[in-house]
Structure 1
Amino acid sequence: MAYTAAALHILVKHKELAEDIIKQLKKGAKFDVLAKKHSTCPSGKKGGHLGEFRKGQMVPAFDKVCFSGELLTPHLVKTKFGWHVVKVLYRT
Protein backbone atom coordinates (compact mmCIF):
# COMPACT_ATOMS: atom_id res chain seq x y z
CA MET A 1 0.00 0.00 0.00
CA ALA A 2 1.21 3.52 -0.85
CA TYR A 3 1.95 5.89 2.02
CA THR A 4 2.97 8.97 0.04
CA ALA A 5 2.16 10.39 -3.37
CA ALA A 6 3.35 13.28 -5.50
CA ALA A 7 0.95 15.17 -7.73
CA LEU A 8 0.38 18.20 -9.90
CA HIS A 9 -2.92 20.01 -9.89
CA ILE A 10 -4.77 22.92 -11.43
CA LEU A 11 -7.56 24.45 -9.34
CA VAL A 12 -10.38 26.32 -11.08
CA LYS A 13 -13.87 27.50 -10.12
CA HIS A 14 -15.85 26.02 -13.02
CA LYS A 15 -16.24 22.43 -14.18
CA GLU A 16 -16.32 23.53 -17.84
CA LEU A 17 -12.87 25.09 -17.56
CA ALA A 18 -11.50 22.00 -15.80
CA GLU A 19 -12.90 19.76 -18.55
CA ASP A 20 -11.40 22.06 -21.21
CA ILE A 21 -7.99 21.88 -19.49
CA ILE A 22 -8.17 18.06 -19.56
CA LYS A 23 -8.97 18.19 -23.31
CA GLN A 24 -5.97 20.47 -23.87
CA LEU A 25 -3.71 18.12 -21.86
CA LYS A 26 -4.88 15.14 -23.93
CA LYS A 27 -3.92 17.10 -27.07
CA GLY A 28 -0.40 17.55 -25.70
CA ALA A 29 -0.54 20.86 -23.83
CA LYS A 30 2.03 21.19 -21.04
CA PHE A 31 0.62 20.83 -17.51
CA ASP A 32 2.88 23.48 -15.98
CA VAL A 33 1.93 26.07 -18.63
CA LEU A 34 -1.80 25.50 -18.04
CA ALA A 35 -1.29 25.56 -14.25
CA LYS A 36 0.48 28.94 -14.41
CA LYS A 37 -2.25 30.32 -16.66
CA HIS A 38 -5.41 28.99 -14.95
CA SER A 39 -4.79 27.69 -11.41
CA THR A 40 -6.17 29.74 -8.51
CA CYS A 41 -4.00 27.74 -6.07
CA PRO A 42 -0.60 29.22 -5.05
CA SER A 43 0.97 26.00 -6.43
CA GLY A 44 0.01 27.25 -9.91
CA LYS A 45 3.08 29.49 -9.89
CA LYS A 46 5.17 26.33 -9.50
CA GLY A 47 3.44 24.63 -12.44
CA GLY A 48 0.91 22.98 -10.16
CA HIS A 49 3.51 21.01 -8.17
CA LEU A 50 2.22 19.93 -4.77
CA GLY A 51 5.31 17.91 -3.98
CA GLU A 52 5.09 14.74 -1.94
CA PHE A 53 2.40 14.31 0.72
CA ARG A 54 1.12 11.59 3.03
CA LYS A 55 -2.14 9.70 2.72
CA GLY A 56 -4.83 11.60 4.60
CA GLN A 57 -3.15 15.01 4.29
CA MET A 58 -5.42 16.23 1.48
CA VAL A 59 -9.23 16.57 1.48
CA PRO A 60 -10.92 13.14 1.02
CA ALA A 61 -11.93 13.30 -2.69
CA PHE A 62 -8.51 14.62 -3.67
CA ASP A 63 -6.76 12.06 -1.47
CA LYS A 64 -8.76 9.21 -3.03
CA VAL A 65 -7.64 10.07 -6.58
CA CYS A 66 -4.03 10.54 -5.49
CA PHE A 67 -3.89 7.11 -3.86
CA SER A 68 -6.11 5.06 -6.18
CA GLY A 69 -6.32 6.88 -9.53
CA GLU A 70 -4.31 5.97 -12.60
CA LEU A 71 -0.83 7.52 -12.64
CA LEU A 72 0.08 10.27 -15.13
CA THR A 73 -3.55 10.63 -16.29
CA PRO A 74 -5.46 13.88 -15.72
CA HIS A 75 -8.36 13.33 -13.31
CA LEU A 76 -11.26 15.67 -12.56
CA VAL A 77 -11.97 16.09 -8.83
CA LYS A 78 -14.56 18.30 -7.09
CA THR A 79 -13.78 19.55 -3.57
CA LYS A 80 -14.93 22.43 -1.37
CA PHE A 81 -12.16 24.48 -2.99
CA GLY A 82 -13.44 24.04 -6.55
CA TRP A 83 -12.57 21.77 -9.47
CA HIS A 84 -9.15 20.18 -9.64
CA VAL A 85 -7.36 18.68 -12.60
CA VAL A 86 -5.02 16.22 -10.86
CA LYS A 87 -2.09 14.36 -12.33
CA VAL A 88 -0.50 11.84 -9.95
CA LEU A 89 3.23 11.49 -10.66
CA TYR A 90 4.10 8.58 -8.38
CA ARG A 91 3.32 6.79 -5.12
CA THR A 92 5.69 5.29 -2.57
Structure 2
Amino acid sequence: MAKKAAALHILVKDKTQATTILAQLKQGANFQALAKKYSQCPSGKRGGDLGEFRRGDMAPSFDKAVFNGELLRPLGPIKTKFGWHIIKVLYRN
Protein backbone atom coordinates (compact mmCIF):
# COMPACT_ATOMS: atom_id res chain seq x y z
CA MET A 1 0.00 0.00 0.00
CA ALA A 2 1.37 3.38 -1.05
CA LYS A 3 2.23 5.77 1.76
CA LYS A 4 3.23 8.83 -0.29
CA ALA A 5 2.00 10.48 -3.46
CA ALA A 6 2.52 13.56 -5.60
CA ALA A 7 -0.31 15.30 -7.40
CA LEU A 8 -1.51 18.37 -9.22
CA HIS A 9 -4.96 19.81 -8.55
CA ILE A 10 -7.35 22.52 -9.57
CA LEU A 11 -9.62 23.87 -6.83
CA VAL A 12 -12.83 25.72 -7.67
CA LYS A 13 -15.93 26.56 -5.61
CA ASP A 14 -18.52 25.31 -8.10
CA LYS A 15 -19.16 21.72 -9.25
CA THR A 16 -20.34 22.94 -12.66
CA GLN A 17 -17.05 24.74 -13.25
CA ALA A 18 -15.10 21.67 -12.08
CA THR A 19 -17.05 19.50 -14.53
CA THR A 20 -16.34 21.95 -17.36
CA ILE A 21 -12.62 21.97 -16.56
CA LEU A 22 -12.55 18.17 -16.40
CA ALA A 23 -14.18 17.99 -19.85
CA GLN A 24 -11.49 20.34 -21.22
CA LEU A 25 -8.78 18.12 -19.75
CA LYS A 26 -10.32 15.01 -21.29
CA GLN A 27 -10.17 16.79 -24.65
CA GLY A 28 -6.44 17.36 -24.23
CA ALA A 29 -6.16 20.74 -22.48
CA ASN A 30 -3.00 21.35 -20.45
CA PHE A 31 -3.61 20.65 -16.74
CA GLN A 32 -1.05 23.14 -15.46
CA ALA A 33 -2.31 25.95 -17.70
CA LEU A 34 -5.89 25.41 -16.48
CA ALA A 35 -4.69 25.30 -12.86
CA LYS A 36 -2.93 28.64 -13.31
CA LYS A 37 -6.05 30.13 -14.88
CA TYR A 38 -8.81 28.74 -12.63
CA SER A 39 -7.50 27.27 -9.36
CA GLN A 40 -8.39 29.15 -6.18
CA CYS A 41 -5.63 27.38 -4.27
CA PRO A 42 -2.23 29.07 -3.91
CA SER A 43 -0.78 26.00 -5.66
CA GLY A 44 -2.49 27.24 -8.83
CA LYS A 45 0.43 29.62 -9.37
CA ARG A 46 2.63 26.52 -9.63
CA GLY A 47 0.31 24.79 -12.07
CA GLY A 48 -1.54 23.07 -9.24
CA ASP A 49 1.57 21.27 -7.96
CA LEU A 50 1.04 20.02 -4.41
CA GLY A 51 4.40 18.26 -4.25
CA GLU A 52 4.77 15.03 -2.32
CA PHE A 53 2.52 14.30 0.65
CA ARG A 54 1.68 11.38 2.91
CA ARG A 55 -1.50 9.36 3.14
CA GLY A 56 -3.78 11.16 5.60
CA ASP A 57 -2.30 14.64 5.02
CA MET A 58 -5.18 15.75 2.81
CA ALA A 59 -8.96 15.90 3.29
CA PRO A 60 -10.44 12.35 3.40
CA SER A 61 -12.20 12.42 0.00
CA PHE A 62 -9.12 13.97 -1.66
CA ASP A 63 -6.87 11.39 0.00
CA LYS A 64 -9.11 8.54 -1.13
CA ALA A 65 -9.08 9.75 -4.75
CA VAL A 66 -5.29 10.16 -4.77
CA PHE A 67 -4.46 6.82 -3.21
CA ASN A 68 -7.16 4.75 -4.95
CA GLY A 69 -7.68 6.53 -8.29
CA GLU A 70 -5.90 6.20 -11.60
CA LEU A 71 -2.46 7.62 -12.23
CA LEU A 72 -1.84 10.41 -14.75
CA ARG A 73 -5.53 10.82 -15.67
CA PRO A 74 -7.65 13.68 -14.35
CA LEU A 75 -9.91 12.61 -11.47
CA GLY A 76 -12.94 14.47 -10.28
CA PRO A 77 -14.82 16.43 -9.43
CA ILE A 78 -13.92 15.57 -5.83
CA LYS A 79 -15.74 17.50 -3.06
CA THR A 80 -13.97 18.62 0.12
CA LYS A 81 -14.68 21.36 2.65
CA PHE A 82 -12.48 23.63 0.49
CA GLY A 83 -14.52 23.21 -2.70
CA TRP A 84 -14.34 21.01 -5.80
CA HIS A 85 -11.07 19.49 -6.98
CA ILE A 86 -9.81 18.07 -10.23
CA ILE A 87 -6.78 15.92 -9.41
CA LYS A 88 -3.95 14.47 -11.46
CA VAL A 89 -1.90 11.93 -9.52
CA LEU A 90 1.72 11.94 -10.68
CA TYR A 91 2.95 8.99 -8.62
CA ARG A 92 2.39 6.89 -5.52
CA ASN A 93 4.95 4.93 -3.51
CA drift of 1:74 comes to: 1.1
Local SS of the residue matching 1:89: strand
Aligned match of 1:4: 4
Aligned match of 1:65: 65
Which amino acid in 1 is paired with 2:86? V
CA drift of 1:40 comes to: 0.2
TM-score normalised per structure 1 = 0.98
TM-score normalised per structure 2 = 0.97
Q: State the identity %.
A: 66
CA drift of 1:30 comes to: 0.3
Q: Which sections of structure 2, spanning at least 5 residues, go unmatched?
A: none
Superimposed CA distance per residue, residues 20-78 of structure 1 (whole angstroms, 9 cap, x where no aligned partner):
11110111110010000000000000000000000000010000011000111111100
Q: Which sections of structure 1, spanning at least 5 residues, go unmatched?
A: none
Which ranges of 4 or more aligned residues in structure 1 deviate by more than 3 Å? none
Which amino acid in 1 is paired with 2:40? T
Which amino acid in 1 is paired with 2:85? H
Q: Provide the aligned length of Structure 1 versus Structure 2.
A: 92
Q: Distance in 2 between matches of 1:13 and 1:6?
A: 23
Which amino acid in 2 is paired with 1:30? N
Q: Distance in 2 between matches of 1:59 and 1:78?
A: 9
